[in-house]
Amino acid sequence: MSLLIKNGLVIDPQNHTEAVMDLLIDGGVIKKAEPEIVAPDAEVYDASGKVVAPGLVDLHVHFREPGLEYKEDITSGSHAAAKGGVTTVVCMPNTKPVVDNAALVKYVINRGKEVGLINVLTAGCISKGQKGAELSEIGELAAAGAVAVSDDGRPVVSSSLMRKALEYAKMFDIPVFSHSEDLELVDNGSMNEGYMSTVLGLRGIPKAAESVAVSRDVLIAKQVGGRLHVCHVSTRDSIEAIRAAKKCGVHVTAETAPHYFTLTDRACDGFNTNAKMNPPLRDEDDIAAVIEGLQDGTIDAIATDHAPHHRDEKELEFEQASNGIVGLETSLGLGVTYLVKTGKLTLCQLIEKMSTVPAQIIGFDRGTLGIGKIADIVVFDPDATYTVDVSKFESKGKNSPYDGFQLYGRVDMTITGGKIVYRNTEY
Amino acid sequence: MKDLLGLKDVSGQEIRRILDEAFRLKKEVLEGSKKDSCLSGKSVITLFYENSTRTRLSFELASKYLGATAANIAASGSSVAKGETLIDTAKTIDRMAADIVIIRHSASGAPHLISRYTKAAVVNAGDGMHEHPTQALLDLMTMQEKKGRIEGLRVAIVGDVKHSRVARSNIYGLHKMGAEVVLAGPSTLMPADLEAMGVKTYCDVDRAVYGADVVMGLRIQLERQKKGLFPTVREYHKFFGIDERRLKLAAPDAIVMHPGPVNRGVELSADVIDGPQSVICDQVTNGVCIRMAVLKMLAER
């Protein structure tokens, strides 16, 4: 079956395309992209006034399967992704058990295929059991399809293990995703250290807890090579460390999450556990630095760190509540509203950060609308607003600080491999 | 006012009303023979997740002096020890028709969480490092009583400000009543961006105490030394303890306060604790009065 998307603003950062035209999809691939395509047999979708872009690639999600399905599973996570315009995700391996062997890598990928909505990819663990002691079988993980290795959720405490991970993973050409955090400096903190932590009487996490660890990681990467990818960057000093490393030619990439350019630690006021995440929400200066980092390319990608939790894990004393928020169903809207509508990034740059570059980081042939490429596509209306309503989330997790926010960038259709996997029926 | 969760959101006018009521109750109930049974038929529950002698006893006696039925839940002997969540405990208490729940908890924000799940009025009797509103109210009452005013007083609070809910509640209360607040303590025990709360901070206690009308020591938990936040108790007392020499730097008629229990010879020297300027025992008495006033006002809402 073929699909003809008419009159959309087709944006393909990889091919420097940004023009109103038609797009013909047939046999799961992009057949044509030109004005006034005639295809009598194709289903026609009128995308006038809308953007047609490569489907989003989210490098950092927690689908919780296997083992923690009460929070999320690959089915609900895939639906959430499709609704958010995300056609490829990289699952973090901190499941139960952790994904530190080839069998589990295959399990996650196969479950994703069974569900069949989006490309569910996974990272494998850096260390066996995520214990931070010995390398896991990174070669086997890569051969089974893991696109990265990460101990995400926990930092690699040992500098020596981080060195070995970078050296070893280099042989298999997969990046090491680093959750960079100095636990001694965290010292049981539960939110950013600053005025708000003082007022709320909550133990603060200094910015240095992240920046020190990021600095360590880029310096190790400088020494031994490998492909370092720094996850969820949130502080100015981390960004400056990455910027300096890039300048010296270190092979480092970095991602941030929408919450780090939209919210400050003031969102924690009233002990709001939906504003509790790790790294914690910072302050205005860090938001400015994150945006500068996105603008000058220091930060390559926007990933959600989609972290669904059961309400019983959030309706608790702040210090006891789990870290993390769901993000798949709000990421594009937050990007459009806080980066594009404010003039910080162009739509093309936003798509580059949310699709093209993340696909390149994991070496996955997506993130483009080139002719002959697999048709993973998002169609969204950058000027239409919608109100975030967590009760309507496809994700099992309702833990979002954005409930009630008005956002631009409504997703109207998501296509994976030429198949429509989400269609907005409310409008 | 449904609950008393902290002084941050209580107005100066409301604080004044509570103080006036506390003074009246002091005269009529504690010092006089007149009975007040304004809480007759009301049930007051104290739910203490942290050890406490004076605060708990103070609340318990306050409710009994006013004729309430008081019940206590000690976290160690209850379903809490069996792993019940705070919310489930709150719902359970709610279903037993409690009118007022007084909670102390080691987690900041715990009373706020409980208040969302119960119809009862919730009184924060100290939550983590966040607030301890009745302590600050009794401190204000004591200042009013001893100095005749609160407005314009210079109040020096000295010690472990970082971990102190007493300091935070006092900052709010004192500001609302027009006093000036200066804080002092070791830099490792001062929280971030403290001055953004509108206070002056010093690491030199002499400067903080200089000219103060009220000198308030904060309790230092000796475990903090084990965590390396200050080198030794000896050094702490030398640099941050209030002794007679330091007290001389304050106004000649300055009063000395402490929320208790005091580590003698650490926050305050023995001579200062037992000296003529100390009003620590008056604070205890006023504590009962403030708690009576708070319970009465919450019951009347």
Question: Which tens digit of pLDDT belongs to each residue from B253-277?
Answer: 999 999 999 999 999 999 999 999 9
| Interchain CB distance below 8 Å, B85 and A316 | yes
Asked if B196 lies within 8 A of A271 by C-beta distance, the reply is: no
Vertex A293 angle, CA A148 and A348, to 5°? 80
Residues B197 and B66 in one domain: no
Rounded to whole angstroms, the Cα distance separating A356 from A144 reads: 24
Identify the residue with better confidence: B75 or A16. Answer: A16
For residue A19, tell me if it sits in a domain: yes
Q: Are residues A315 and A392 in the same domain?
A: no
Per the residue annotation, which of A58, A151, A305, A412 is the catalytic one? Answer: A305
Among A307, A339, A361, residue at a domain's last position = A361
Give residue A88's pLDDT. 98
A198 and B194: CB-CB below 8 Å? Answer: yes
Q: Which of B7, B108, B127, B190 to mutate to test the interface with A (most CBs of A within 10 A)?
A: B108
CA dist., res. A400 & res. B102, Å (int): 31
Distances (CA, A) of A124 to A114, A131, A175, A357, B251: 20, 13, 11, 21, 67
CA B85: distance to chain centroid?
26
Q: Indicate if B33 and B77 belong to the same structural domain.
A: yes
B233 pLDDT above the threshold of 60: yes
Examine the domain organization and report whether B213 and B98 are in the same domain. no
Contacts of B192 in chain A (CB under 8 A): 193-195, 197-198, 204
C-alpha A398/C-alpha A313 separation (Å) is 11
CA dihedral B173→B175→B181→B185, nearest 10 degrees, is 50
Mean pLDDT of A55-75: 98
What is the pLDDT confidence band of residue B227, given thresholds at 50, 70 and 90? Answer: confident
- B3 falls within a domain: no
Mean pLDDT of A12-37: 97
Select from A198, A315, A317 the Cβ nearest to the Cβ of B191: A198
Nearest Cα to Cα of residue A295 among A252, A332, A348:
A348
Query: In this structure, are A24 and A99 located in the same domain?
Result: no
Are B22 and B124 contained in the same domain? yes
| Calpha distance A329→A86 (Å, rounded) | 9
What's the pLDDT at A180? 98
Domain of residue A43, residue span: 2-51+374-423
Q: What are the chain B neighbours of A312 within 8 Å (beta carbons)?
A: 85
Q: In the 8-state DSSP scheme, what is residue A127?
A: B
- Out of A200, A204, A312, name the one closest to residue B109 (CB): A200
Q: Are residues A14 and A76 in the same domain?
A: no
Q: Cis ω on the peptide bond leading into residue B252 (within 30° of 0)?
A: no
Of A407, A395, A307, A299, the closest CA to residue A354 belongs to: A299
Q: Among A197, A201, A316, whose Cβ lies nearest the Cβ of B192?
A: A197
How far is A66 from B128, CA to CA, in rounded Å?
36
Q: Verify that B269 and B198 share a domain, yes or no.
A: yes
Q: For residue A320, is pLDDT > 90?
A: yes
- For range B102-111, the mean pLDDT: 96
> Would you state the pLDDT for residue B36?
81
Contacts of B194 in chain A (CB under 8 A): 198
Picking from A334, A361, A388, the residue at the C-terminal end of a domain is A361
User: Within a domain: residue A385?
Assistant: yes
Residue B15 to chain A, least CA–CA distance (Å): 20
The secondary structure of A274-287 as a DSSP string is GG--SSPP--HHHH
CB contact under 8 A, B109 and A197: no
Residue type (1 letter), A29: V
Q: B207 and B155: one domain?
A: yes
From the CA of A318, how many Å to the nearest CA of chain B?
Answer: 7
Distance from CA of A404 to the nearest CA of B (A): 20
Residues B102 and B160 in one domain: no
Q: Are residues A119 and A137 in the same domain?
A: yes
In this prediction, residue B35 carries a pLDDT of 73
pLDDT band at B31 (very low <50, low <70, confident <90, very high): confident
Q: How many contiguous H segments (helices) and E segments (strands) does chain B have?
A: 12, 9
Same structural domain for residues B144 and B100? no
CB contact under 8 A, A199 and B168: yes
pTM given for the model: 0.95
Give per-residue pLDDT as tens, A191-224. Answer: 999 999 999 999 999 999 999 999 999 999 999 9
pLDDT band (50, 70, 90) for residue B52: confident
Nearest CA in chain B to A187: B227
Q: How many domains does chain B have?
A: 2
Residues B277 and B289 both lie in one domain = no
Q: Is A271 annotated as a binding residue?
A: no
A to B CB pairs, distance under 8 Å: 64
Integer Cα distance of A71 and A310 in angstroms? 5
Residues B99 and B233 in one domain: no
The vertex-B24 CA angle with B19 and B25, nearest 5°, equals: 95
Q: What is the pLDDT, as a whole number, of residue B1?
A: 81
Max CA distance (Å), chain B:
56
For residue B10, how many other CB atoms are within 10 A of its CB? 21
A318 is in an annotated binding site: no
pLDDT of residue B76: 67
Residue where the block lists tokens 């950060």? A353
- Asked if the Cβ–Cβ distance from A195 to B193 is below 8 Å, we say yes
Is residue B125 one of the residues assigned to a domain? yes
Contact A195 B196 (CB under 8 A): yes
A305 is catalytic: yes
Instruction: Tell me the percentage of chain A whose pLDDT exceeds 90.
Output: 99
Out of A260-264, A357-361, B72-76, B185-189, pick the least confident. B72-76
- Of B149, B111, B32, which Cα lies nearest the Cα of B298? B111
| Residue A43 maps to a domain | yes
The reply to whether A366 falls in a domain is no
Q: Is the pLDDT of residue B77 over 60?
A: no
Q: Is residue A369 part of a domain?
A: no
pLDDT at residue A357 is higher than 80: yes
Residues of chain B with pLDDT > 90, as a percent, come to 83
Q: Assign residue B260 a region: left if phi > 0, alpha if psi is -120 to 50, beta otherwise?
A: left
Q: Beta strand A43-46 with A2-12: parallel, antiparallel or unpaired?
A: parallel
Residues of chain A contacting B105 with CB distance shorter than 8 Å? 317
Residue A224: left if φ>0, alpha if ψ -120 to 50, beta else—which one? alpha
* Structural domain count of chain A: 2
**Domain at A139, CATH number:** 3.20.20.140
Instruction: Give me the DSSP letters along B24-81.
Output: HHIIIIIIS-----TTTT-EEEEEESS--SHHHHHHHHHHHHTT-EEEEEEGGGSGGG
In-domain check, residue B43: yes
Burial class of residue A26 in the structure, from the number of CB atoms within 10 Å of its CB (0-12 exposed, 13-18 middle, 19+ buried):
middle
Q: Does some domain include residue B4?
A: no
pLDDT 10s digits, A106-165: 999 999 999 999 999 999 999 999 999 999 999 999 999 999 999 999 999 999 999 999
List Cα–Cα distances, A266 to A195, A276, A319, A333, B256, in angstroms: 9, 11, 16, 21, 36
Residues A301 and A323 occupy one common structural domain: yes
Nearest to B112 among A197, A203, A271 (CB): A271
* Residue A336 scores a pLDDT above 90: yes
Question: Does residue B7 fall inside a structural domain?
Answer: no
Angle at B94 between CA B88 and CA B96, to 5 degrees: 115
Q: Where do we find the tokens 């059991």? A: A129
Whether A64 has a binding-site annotation, put simply, is yes
Q: What is the CATH number of the domain that holds B235?
A: 3.40.50.1370
Q: Residues B121-176: pLDDT tens digits?
A: 999 999 999 999 999 999 999 999 999 999 999 999 999 999 999 999 999 999 99
Give the span between the Cα atoms of A306 and A287, in whole angstroms: 19
Is A300 marked within a binding site? Answer: no
Are the beta carbons of B130 and A198 separated by less than 8 Å? no
Higher pLDDT, A278 or A426: A278
**E-assigned strand segments in A94-189:** 119-124, 148-150, 176-178
> What CATH number is associated with residue A385?
2.30.40.10
Binding-site residues of B sit at: 54-55, 82, 104, 132, 135, 165, 219, 260-261
Percent over 70 (pLDDT), chain B: 97
Contact at CB, B130 and A315, closer than 8 angstroms: no
Q: Is A94 annotated as a binding residue?
A: yes
| Domain around B112 | 12-131+284-300
Of A361, A384, A400, which residue sits at a domain end? A361
The answer on A62 and A41 residing in a single domain is no
Q: Do B166 and B30 fall into the same domain?
A: no
- Joined together, the tokens standing for residue A383 give 């000027």
Dihedrals φ, ψ of A235, to 5°? -120, 155
B193 vs A contacts (CB less than 8 Å): 194-195, 198
* Residue A193 falls inside a structural domain: yes
Of A53, A45, A55, the C-alpha closest to A118 is A55
In a domain? residue A189:
yes
Collapse the DSSP code of B293 into the 3-class scheme (helix H, G, I; strand E, B; otherwise coil) and give the result. Answer: helix
The pLDDT of residue A329 is above 90: yes
pLDDT band at B81 (very low <50, low <70, confident <90, very high): low
Nearest CB to B113; choose among A193, A204, A271: A271
Is A172 inside any structural domain? Answer: yes
Domain match, B193 and B265 both: yes
Decide: residue B151, CB within 10 A, 0-12 exposed, 13-18 middle, 19+ buried: exposed
Burial string for B135-147 (b: 16+ CB within 10 Å, else e) reads bbbbbbbbbbbbb
| ipTM value for the complex | 0.94
Tell me, what's the pLDDT at B84? 85
Q: Is residue B201 part of a domain?
A: yes
- What pLDDT was estimated at residue B74? 78
pLDDT tens-digit map of A156-172? 999 999 999 999 999 99
Shortest alpha-carbon distance between residue A195 and chain B (Å): 5
Q: Quick one: A214 and A301 in the same domain?
A: yes
